[in-house]
């Protein structure tokens, strides 16, 4: 009687490579998902902050009934919200620029322009445009801002 | 007599074992660092969106907004340093003049709203909206009121800015 033992050959190179590729794709996919979730969360946070800045500028200006002497530096500047006169995004067509400012709040830097348009006797449209940078929050100036949020309000 | 044939089984040498172990440990360490860093980033992002200071910020904004928007600007008053803001509003549609007041202020790190009646002026209750306040400033521009509130918890600091126009 002849007893034969099956020879154990192990895994081939192709099998090992395929297994490594599958594991790599799974790991990279998982890490990417979390990375982009964090990034999008941060971007959403910045977006919400700048939107609130625009709303505050719009409402405080509206509270003065659209006064042309309204100055956010005088009215709103504080320790937690730094406002200085600076360049700002371009005002909409047919609107007259009132002032432009640089604002820093919660480590977010943005640039705002306030403009207005007299539509009819006593009716004035107020516009606030806020520009910020989505990718990097280091302050590199207005030219690097890549996103704009805009609000309009009417006072009579 | 049966004939038996056995394959020669050599096994692994010490060198092979050491090299395989080293490679395995390096891969394991790399993946571990990657996963830990990823988990840390995820936790940071999650707390940035859902931590107590974030939800407090949302509640404070809503409370300020809902009260200020129903108040009468002619009857509001504000501290010279902006440490408190008091607004007056109507109890119901039959009121001919504002008969209730609400005062927003910060005390010992708490953001409070004091409610009361105007005639006679009596406090009916104080509601603490949030804690961990490190800075709170109120502004009043024309008929609008602004609040700039900074809260801090651990390493996370949030500045809440909100504005509301009073209805008359």
Percent of chain A whose predicted confidence (pLDDT) is above 90: 44
Supply the ipTM of this predicted assembly. Answer: 0.71
Whether residue A79 is contained in a domain is answered as yes
Summarize pLDDT for A87-117 with one digit per residue, the tens: 889 999 999 999 999 999 888 889 999 999 9
Average pLDDT of B38-42?
80
DSSP annotation of B46 reads: H
Cα dihedral sign for A76, A78, A82, A83? positive
Q: Between A and B, how many CB-CB pairs are < 8 A?
A: 104
Q: What mean pLDDT comes out for the span B13-23?
A: 86
DSSP label of A142 = G
> How many domains are there within chain A?
1
Q: Which residue has the higher pLDDT, B126 or B13?
A: B126
Q: How far is B14 from chain A (nearest CA, A)?
A: 19
Domain assignment present for A30? no
Provide CB contacts within 8 A for A28, sequence distance 6+. none
pLDDT at B115: 95
**Residue A86 in domain:** yes
Reported confidence tier of residue A6, pLDDT bands at 50, 70, 90 = low
Domain definitions of chain B by residue range: 52-165
In a domain, A25, yes or no: no
Residue A106 backbone zone (phi > 0: left; psi -120 to 50: alpha; other: beta): left
For residue range B103-113, what is the model confidence (pLDDT) as tens digits?
Answer: 999 999 999 99
* Exposure class string for B99-136: b at 16+ Cβ within 10 A, else e: ebbbbbbbeeeebbbbebeeeeeeeeeeeebbebbeeb
User: What pLDDT digit, counting tens, does each position of B122-150 carry?
Assistant: 999 999 999 989 999 999 988 899 999 99
Mean pLDDT of chain A: 86
Q: Is B113 helix (H, G, I), strand (E, B) or coil?
A: strand
Q: Domain span at residue A86?
A: 49-155
Q: With beta carbons less than 8 A apart as the criterion, state whether A43 and B45 touch.
A: no
Orientation of helix B52-68 relative to helix B14-50, angle to 10°: 10
Q: Given a cut of 60, is residue B56 above it in pLDDT?
A: yes
pLDDT of A4: 59
Contact A35 B146 (CB under 8 A): no
On whether residue A19 sits in a domain, the answer given is no
Residue A76 forms contact with B (CB below 8 Å): yes
pLDDT at A143: 79
Give the model confidence (pLDDT) of A15-32 as tens digits: 888 988 898 898 888 888
Name the least confident of A12-21, A147-156, B59-68: A12-21
Q: Are the CB atoms for B149 and B57 separated by under 8 Å?
A: yes
The answer, for A106 touching chain B at a CB cutoff of 8 Å, is yes
B60 touches A: beta carbon within 8 Å: no
Q: A23 to chain B nearest CA, in Å? A: 11
Give the distance from residue B155's alpha carbon to the nearest chain A alpha carbon, in angstroms: 13
In a domain, A14, yes or no: no
**Interface subset of A 8-67, CB within 8 angstroms of B:** 27, 30-31, 34-35, 37-38, 41-42, 45, 52-53, 55-56, 59-65, 67
């Amino acid at each position: 009687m002849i007893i034969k033992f099956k020879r154990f050959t192990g895994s081939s190179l192709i099998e090992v490579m395929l297994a490594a590729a599958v594991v790599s794709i799974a790991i990279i996919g998982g890490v990417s998902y979390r990375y982009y979730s964090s990034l999008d969360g941060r971007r959403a946070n910045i977006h919400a902050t700048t939107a609130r800045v625009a709303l505050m500028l719009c409402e405080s200006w509206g509270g003065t009934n659209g006064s042309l002497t309204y100055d956010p530096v005088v009215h709103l500047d504080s320790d937690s919200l730094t406002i200085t006169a600076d360049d700002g995004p371009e005002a909409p067509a047919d609107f007259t620029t009132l002032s432009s400012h640089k604002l820093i709040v919660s480590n977010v830097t943005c640039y705002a322009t306030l403009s207005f348009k007299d539509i009819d006797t006593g009716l004035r449209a107020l516009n606030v445009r806020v520009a910020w940078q989505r990718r990097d929050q280091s302050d590199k100036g207005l030219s690097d801002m890549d996103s704009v949020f805009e609000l309009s309000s009417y006072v009579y | 007599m049966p004939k038996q044939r056995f394959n020669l089984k050599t096994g692994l040498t010490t060198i092979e074992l050491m090299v395989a172990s080293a490679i395995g440990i390096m891969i394991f360490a790399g993946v571990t660092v990657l996963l830990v860093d990823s988990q840390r980033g995820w936790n940071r992002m999650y707390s940035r969106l859902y931590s107590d200071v974030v939800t407090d910020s949302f509640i404070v904004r809503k409370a300020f907004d809902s009260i200020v928007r129903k108040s009468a600007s002619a009857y509001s008053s504000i501290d010279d340093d902006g440490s408190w803001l008091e607004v007056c509003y109507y109890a119901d549609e039959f009121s001919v003049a504002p008969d209730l007041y609400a005062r927003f202020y910060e005390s010992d790190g708490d953001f409070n709203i004091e409610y009361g009646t105007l005639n006679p002026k009596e406090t009916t209750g104080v509601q603490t909206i949030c804690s961990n306040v490190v800075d709170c400033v109120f502004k009043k521009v024309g008929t609008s009121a602004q609040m700039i509130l900074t809260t801090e918890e651990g390493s996370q600091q949030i500045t809440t800015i909100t504005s509301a126009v009073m209805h008359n």
